[in-house]
Amino acid sequence: MSDINIVFTRVDNRLVHGQVGNVWVTASGANLILVVDDETCNDELSKSLMKMTADAVGVQIRFFSIKKTIEIIGKAAPSQKIFIVAKTPQVIEQLVDGGVPIKHCNIGNMHKSEGKHILHEVHVYVDDQDEACLKRLKEKGVDVYIQITPNDRKYKI
């Protein structure tokens, strides 16, 4: 699976929205957004809204479950420059454990919710499970960092 052209991987609990579509897709040079989320791949309304964002920036978009991503990503064409986006770091860890060659993981928006505390001043809230997952990703060789937009400073975790 190492020949897969994954150009960017991001955790963002909003998945695909204006910031991802207009800023990160352009900065990464991606031509395909791969939304990996078991729930969203069955939610037609969410998919249609995200597809509008992808269409507006001229890239393809796919919606796969974690299992399907692991099974099918090895069939990606070399011309596909893949931008993976998931809601949680746990999804990224499952992909890595399933053999998806993710080398870098940008932590974007992880919003405040019950039981979460601030990890970084700009929209990154985690609980103990999130922190443990981020640590495991680093131990597995993934460069994990916080950067909200490409023009912002990178914060190593």
Catalytic residue among 17, 104, 120, 123: 17
Q: Give the rounded distance of the alpha carbon of 85 from its chain centre.
A: 2
Our CA angle for 120, 63, 156, nearest 5°, is 20
Our answer to whether residue 17 is catalytic in this structure is: yes
Instruction: Tell me the two tokens of residue 51.
Output: 């597809």
Q: Say what angle helices 89-97 and 128-139 make with each other, to 10 degrees.
A: 30
DSSP run (H or E) holding 61: strand 60-64
Closest CA to 66 of 102, 30, 119, 115: 102
Using only C-alpha atoms, the chain has a radius of gyration, in whole angstroms, of 15
d(CA 97, CA 16) in angstroms, rounded, equals 24
What SS3 state is found at 154?
Answer: coil
Q: Which residues are part of the catalytic machinery? A: 17
